[in-house]
Structure 1
Amino acid sequence: MDATLLHLAHYAVDTDFDQLPPGAAHECERRLVDSVACAAGAFREPLCETLRAFTRHYAGVPPARVWGTGAATSMEMAAFANGTMVRFLDYSDTWLGRGAGHPSDMIPALVAVAEAHRASGRALVAAIVVAYELYCGLCEAAGAERRLDQATFAAVGAAAGTGRLLSLDEARMANALALALAPNLHLYNVRTGTLSDWKGCAGPNGARNGVFAALLACEGVTGPTAPIEGKGGLFDLVGEFELRPGAGTRPLLMDTHLKLHPVCYHGQSAIDAALALRSAVPLEQVVDIHVETYEAAYRAMGSDSSKWAPATRETADHSLPYTVAMALREGRLSSAAYGKDRLNDALTKHLMDKVRVTASDELTRGYPGKVQTRVTLSSADGSVHSHLQEWPKGHAAQPLCDNELEQKFTSLHEAWGDAVATRRTLEAIWSVDQLADVTRLVDALCLNR
């Protein structure tokens, strides 16, 4: 095995709950709260319903359950269907750095494995921290040039977390990582142009494949010995890098960001800025809306014509013109803004025609330390109103407090139950590190709807 792969395997095997620094378990629980909220909010979306129906074709021994219904399926398919529910609304957590991604795509996969193998809550927390460390570390090391999609890193992270839950030794853990990496080099193309259903499925599918890789390794199946440093390996594809998981003062999970608005993370600060300006001038008087942002946000949300004519929800929630226009019109940005009937609204299109998006060298230099966007409204009377948002609410530098996170949970959990059910589910998540068996957590997520 190559040295980098062995180092990753050693970290994944060697890290357990008792080694986590103060606050790490609570931050993990916060991301569980956020992920379950997102899944509940997306439960009735047609794509999520389609994937839940698809899980009926698969059985597993031991089984895992589909959130929201309790239907039994395989661990891999529970990872995929539940993960897509978490991801669908584009409301889940984000890692920002040289590369970016949504590491919570892996959480449903690890919950499925923990449930199937009746692991403890402490084991689940440790597995999630390990998975995030590899995912976010690979985003930094190998994701900067946008040659690989983040789903690649979900496969590796989920394999590491699953391997922990299965108590793999270092040799089998290294094979699990190799079996996850070699067949799962996902194309970044999934996040360009007009976006399809697969935008929300890609990360959960990577996590599904990471579970499969770890299950194979558990049975003694071997992977390629040098998928990172060897000929034709990851170094050849993206260049050499150094990856030292666990080397920081705290786990990378604690530096991921939560979302206040259901939009691509690169649009969060733009929505905050637009809302701050909404009362400054009547919309009918606005003649120009200038959105200045950093290069990564410009590329993702304002660099091509599809962002001014989004035909799908997936394109709309990656469109600065659309989301800024909706925030200005309605005083908020909600998931309802992406309904098919809303995408063709004439008044919204008229407002979008006034939106200009540019990349600012100044704001780009501040990224990723700051996630800045400036929105400027010019009025017919010649007045100009501008607001610079340095960090969006929910960023690690300006985090949602637990009460604000619970408010997000409560608003999204309505699809799954009343106030009593919401409180019961929250209590189960907040105490996950005290559970002897993760099955009790999943019970709270699988009441018949």
Structure 2
Amino acid sequence: MSRRLLPSVRYMSSSIKMNDRPTPDALLTKIASYVHNTSIDSKLAFDTARYCLLDTLGCGLASLKYQQVQDIIKPIVPQLGQITNGCNVPGTNYTMDPINGAFAIGTTIRWLDFNDCWLASEWGHPSDNLGGILAVIDFINRSSPTAKPFVIKDVLEAMIKAHEIQGIMALDNSFNQVGLDHVILVKLATTAVVSKLIGLNEEQTVTALSHAFVDGHSLRTYRHSPNTNSRKSWAAGDATSRAVRLAYLVKNAGIGCIPSVLTTPRWGLYDTLFKGQPFKFNQRQEFKSYVMENVLFKISFPAEFHAQTAAEAAMMANKRLIALGKSANDIKSIRIRTQDAAMNIIDKSGPLYNYADRDHCIQYMIAVPLIHGRLTADDYTDEVAIKNNDIDNLRSKMFCVRDDQFTKDYYDPQKRSIANALLIELNDGTMLDEIIVEYPIGHKFRRDEGIPLLMSKFENHIKERFGDSKQAQRILQFSTDDDFENLPVHKYIDEYVMK
């Protein structure tokens, strides 16, 4: 029997690739260095972060009146909701490990689509990162009672840095264009700041960030027709929870770095998802505190941000109709002049199947104020939508047109407007003057007008959850105290426990 010759050693070796370990990708080291080495000295950033913290906590409390959010955050094993020295989930009596706590807090924060917003090439809600930040800090304070506790200022600094990472990444990089959801940036930003909070060094933070990039990423389909779904309301909770888990895996198990997670040929993120194109940083090259200083607050309406000015314009139109002795029933047509982003995200006709469908439909968010002179979270429920045929009837009379100047101003870093304009024609042929709103009340250009309303929003959320009680009064007193930044975090969160 003849013998088959083995391939020659020379032939075999020609297919072997060198396994030299590369240095970590530059973006990983840049983010880690920012988190560990950059001091935040902007008073504007800290002042804005304080308002952001209060507003975000209030939004979380407001969500808890809805049964579905309560069902989503409750632990699968009941005992896991009553862990000794666990982090508290504000507005509940849960004490959880920081991973499940981050999911619960992050989910309540995002549920009503009422927390802050950042709009650029990518969209998102930087305060979603508070889910991980607050869960970790509260847990560390309670589980290490002899150590120097984290204070509110530490939360604010972590928020500023998480906002910056998420927001700067979003300026020139569109994840939605490749079908990914923006919560990838929540996972990245939370991983970065939480790594430092739990005691990782700069090199370990690089490792954690590499896993945040390689970890499974959410498809964006649940935010868009025809698949709009309530997942959009807990996706950020999931992302911030995953971030906390990754940071602790580095700390507890020493999981190794994936140094060229972005740049390695074929298998890296750039080649796999971005056609070989690296991330861009054209508008801002450095991380500091720009995003927190310019963040957008949602003050007037729990609605997708590209429709905030449209809803405000609709409220103004409602008053005009009343002054004319008319109502929404007298409307023949409505032209909505808007930005490109709104056209892509919330321009929607046809049936709306759930809450998530409705709060991402610009026509719905215009119809309700025109009919009722309001737009609240309850207005997206089946009880309101299904029982009111007038809403869908009015929606059918609307059409969107893309405005190039609105789109240009939307991307202009000196403006960052979110303009909408309504042109209403009545059945009798009367054309009302077009109503244009360029900047929502939560925009930096309207801070003086917006902050008192933001604090009123916070107070309303506190009293809605805790009533006009001594507990509510203590929360409001702590929150407005001059020494608030020096308050131990767990002492403040104690006030939010549901008795």
Kindly report which structure 2 residues correspond to 1:18-57, keeping only aligned pairs within 5 A, or say none: 19-54=40-75, 56=78
- Report the alpha carbon displacement of residue 354 of structure 1 after superposing the two structures with TM: 1.2
1:413 aligns with 462
- Report the alpha carbon displacement of residue 315 of structure 1 after superposing the two structures with TM: 0.6
Q: Return closer, same or farther for 1:433/1:132 CA change in 2, 3 Å cut-off.
A: farther
> Is 1:120 the equivalent of 2:158?
no
> Is 1:364 the equivalent of 2:403?
no
CA distance in 1, matches of 2:319, 2:494: 45
> Is 1:342 the equivalent of 2:387?
no
CA distance in 2, matches of 1:402, 1:294: 26
CA distance in 1, matches of 2:79, 2:174: 34
**Cα-to-partner distance string for 1:7-34 (whole Å, 9 max, x where unaligned):** 1111111134xx3312221211111111
> Is 1:253 the equivalent of 2:292?
yes
Q: Return closer, same or farther for 1:136/1:175 CA change in 2, 3 Å cut-off.
A: same
Q: Return closer, same or farther for 1:175/1:57 CA change in 2, 3 Å cut-off.
A: farther
Q: Which moved more, 1:345-354 or 1:92-101?
A: 345-354
- Report the alpha carbon displacement of residue 57 of structure 1 after superposing the two structures with TM: 5.8
Q: Is the 8 A contact 2:49 2:160 kept in 1?
A: yes
**SS of corresponding position for 1:91:** coil
> Is 1:324 the equivalent of 2:366?
yes
> Is 1:156 the equivalent of 2:188?
yes
> Is 1:268 the equivalent of 2:308?
yes
1:229 aligns with 263
| 1:427 corresponds to which of 450, 470, 477 | 477
**SS of corresponding position for 2:495:** helix
Q: Which moved more, 1:407-416 or 1:244-253?
A: 244-253
1:192 aligns with 224
CA distance in 2, matches of 1:375, 1:242: 35
- Report the alpha carbon displacement of residue 248 of structure 1 after superposing the two structures with TM: 6.1
Greater relative CO (CA pairs within 8 A, separation 6+): 1
Q: Return closer, same or farther for 1:106/1:93 CA change in 2, 3 Å cut-off.
A: same
**SS of corresponding position for 1:384:** coil
1:384 aligns with 431
1:404 aligns with 453
Kindly report which structure 2 residues correspond to 1:85-164, keeping only aligned pairs within 5 A, or say none: 85-118=108-141, 119-143=150-174, 145-147=176-178, 148-164=180-196
Q: Is the 8 A contact 1:290 1:377 kept in 2?
A: yes
2:98 aligns with 75
Which TM-score applies when normalising by structure 2?
0.84
State the AA in 2 paired with 1:421.
Q
| 2:318 corresponds to which of 267, 278, 303 | 278
**Cα-to-partner distance string for 1:290-334 (whole Å, 9 max, x where unaligned):** 1110110111111x43xx421100010001111100010111111
State the AA in 2 paired with 1:197.
S
**SS of corresponding position for 2:332:** strand
Larger Rg: 2
2:488 aligns with 437
Q: Which runs of 5+ in 2 are unaligned?
A: 1-23, 142-149
**SS of corresponding position for 1:445:** coil
CA distance in 2, matches of 1:429, 1:155: 28
CA distance in 1, matches of 2:197, 2:390: 52
**Cα-to-partner distance string for 1:373-422 (whole Å, 9 max, x where unaligned):** 01111012221121011111111222354321111112222332134433
Alignment root-mean-square deviation, CA:
2.1
- Report the alpha carbon displacement of residue 364 of structure 1 after superposing the two structures with TM: 1.7
State the AA in 2 paired with 1:258.
F
State the AA in 1 paired with 2:296.
H
Q: Which runs of 5+ in 1 are unaligned?
A: none
1:216 aligns with 249
1:202 aligns with 235
- Report the alpha carbon displacement of residue 201 of structure 1 after superposing the two structures with TM: 0.8
2:86 aligns with 63
Q: Is the 8 A contact 1:69 1:447 kept in 2?
A: yes
CA distance in 1, matches of 2:198, 2:176: 34
1:3 aligns with 26
CA distance in 1, matches of 2:125, 2:452: 23
Q: Which moved more, 1:316-325 or 1:160-169?
A: 160-169
CA distance in 2, matches of 1:248, 1:172: 20
State the AA in 1 paired with 2:155.
L
Q: Is the 8 A contact 1:155 1:206 kept in 2?
A: yes
- Report the alpha carbon displacement of residue 341 of structure 1 after superposing the two structures with TM: 1.5
Q: Is the 8 A contact 2:86 2:96 kept in 1?
A: yes
CA distance in 2, matches of 1:47, 1:8: 36
State the AA in 2 paired with 1:128.
M
State the AA in 1 paired with 2:342.
A
1:13 aligns with 36
**Cα-to-partner distance string for 1:257-310 (whole Å, 9 max, x where unaligned):** 0112110001101001111111323222211111110110111111x43xx421
- Report the alpha carbon displacement of residue 102 of structure 1 after superposing the two structures with TM: 0.9
- Report the alpha carbon displacement of residue 361 of structure 1 after superposing the two structures with TM: 2.2
Q: Which moved more, 1:162-171 or 1:267-276?
A: 162-171
Which TM-score applies when normalising by structure 1?
0.93
CA distance in 1, matches of 2:113, 2:373: 19
State the AA in 1 paired with 2:472.
T
CA distance in 2, matches of 1:246, 1:111: 28
CA distance in 2, matches of 1:154, 1:227: 18
Q: Is the 8 A contact 1:143 1:149 kept in 2?
A: no
Q: Is the 8 A contact 1:146 1:188 kept in 2?
A: no
**Cα-to-partner distance string for 1:201-253 (whole Å, 9 max, x where unaligned):** 11111111111111112222223111222233232223212459882674312
Q: Is the 8 A contact 1:133 1:252 kept in 2?
A: yes
CA distance in 2, matches of 1:41, 1:287: 36
User: Kindly, what percent of the aligned residue pairs are identical?
Assistant: 21
Total equivalences in the alignment: 443
